[in-house]
Structure 1
Amino acid sequence: MLNTSRFRGPAWLAASAAAALLAGCSQAVVLNPAGDVAAQQGKLVITATLLMLIIIVPVIIATLVFAWKYRQGNQDAPYAPDWHHSTVLELVIWTVPLMIIIALGTLTWIATHKLDPYRPLDRIDAQRPVAAGVRPLEVQVVALDWKWLFLYPEQGIATVNELAAPVDRPIHFKLTASSTMNAFYVPDLAGMIYSMPGMQTELNAVINRAGVFKGLASHYSGPGFSGMTFKFHGLPEADFEQWVRKARVEGQALDQASYLQLAKPSERDPVQRFASVQPGLYERILNRCVEDGQTCLHEQMAMDARAAAGLPRDICTPADAPQFVAALRQRAAPAAP
């Protein structure tokens, strides 16, 4: 049996402190990530914190000074029961926080637009802009129960619970979900982005350092949520091409039938690779019509729009476009008095 008596006292306290520090190291990635977008977000957190400390630190100091100066035992402290106003104090109390709020608002407004996940990247890092003609690597992401499916339309492959991208190449993620809303998050890469069934969200990011980084689902989605993690590999271009070739050699084909089998709820799935992907599969997943006989969402919306315009609900063809537009304009025109 383990003898715990030797862990008592100062040694036990030191061990506990060390464990706490090590546990906090995993959170430090947010402030020292490997991707430029995440790095900008981390700097924004630090800048906002420092701005708020301009108020917090003086208030804490003033609280301690006042408590000491006006303690019960200090008979020399001034006593002014009729004091009720100080113009200088009022200016300080209102002006300083107002200036900080203006600074925070301006900073947040600029960063919100600059770091918009839908906005294509204009730089690789602080020193290098994106070169003209560089195409982002497109990755289509599907949040399943409870695993991640990644499709590479340019390479024609797919993987489960494993993601890879070349270092210093922009990445354009398109995200959706099979059944339950979830959230895609690689702390080293960029901020969290939601994935929702029947909808598509987007995220633009870049990884600036080779390595293996943790990815996870940051939104609770059921009993398998805790195991819904994956590894993100930042690779040099040559190693990425080798990774793609490995998937093409080892993997199977991903089609409607294999996807429907994959989409069934399961927990802590191993890495899987698919050498080919059925054309249009992601669009069918997005529009929730993978199974034969289902009406796709975009087709259903087109039929509803035609019905609202007073036209037959049949799928609109290019030849119907003038009639459809004319009907909409007629319905939108103000009624005669």
Structure 2
Amino acid sequence: SIRIINNLKSGNLSDTAEFLLLGLSEDPEVQPLLFGLFLSMYLITVLGNLLIIVLISSDPHLHTPMYFFLSNLSFVDICFTTTTIPKILVNIQTQRKHISYAGCFTQICFVLTFAGLENGILTMMAYDRFVAICHPLRYNVVMIPRFCGLLVLLSFLISVLDALLHTLMALRLSFCTDLEIPHFFCELAHILKLACSDIFINNIFVYLVTSLLGVVPLTGIIFSYTRIVSSILKIPSADGKYKAFSTCGSHLIVVSLFYGTGFGVYLTSAATHSSRKSAIVSVMYTVVTPMLNPFIYSLRNKDMMGALCKLISRISSFH
């Protein structure tokens, strides 16, 4: 385009260029359907997760470590989807696919931050269930509010540091005239593919950090649930076993969705040369999983349903 030619003449493409987000489909007839689909999923995600935060805040019985982590997870899910979906909706509505250079790298930074936070909070929730079931007598001593708050703060700081390092390392790269991203948001892996300069150090850092911040927490979750299952099987009564399993069921489903779809994206991108197929699979962990979390936790949880009934009766009494 003329914009890219002018930028090349000025010798500073990175400062003024715009990337093109190709999205999930370039078919004009499909765009209204995609707009309605993404808008619906975004509204359900925001309203559902906001409802969980309101229920936990309003009911004193839910002021426990497990629900503290759940409210933080809901907040992160809202932020995670807000980082990507509004831009998709604007691009579809205006029929423009552009995202500025600064906007693209800002989006990368926020996506990495909230993905890392979600990863950290899911690990904390597994640890919370591990202490509650395997060491019940020590639970109130270990899982004090200050300790839980410090865990969330530590996860936040690690996620922000990781995101900033990835973004700053990507900012030093130079890009050619091909600025098309076959995705619906700026993903680090796609940006690295567009770079003209050497990305060896970037790739090494990506693999290193993925191993530390991805594999280590997942290993911790697997270890926690191995010990949890072992402890539950030792419970003599069937009711006791059911009650213990029910407290972990929702979290286990969310963990399976988050990691399953996340690994699915990378396996799909490795197995196929179609970046568009990889983008479609990415919808699962960036949009669908945050949308399903409120349903999983509210419909499977008697405490949450009880808090919802109390809130509805409280609102009804005002009228």
TM-score (norm 2): 0.24
Larger Rg: 1
Indicate the structure whose relative CO is greater, using CA pairs within 8 Å and at least 6 residues apart.
2
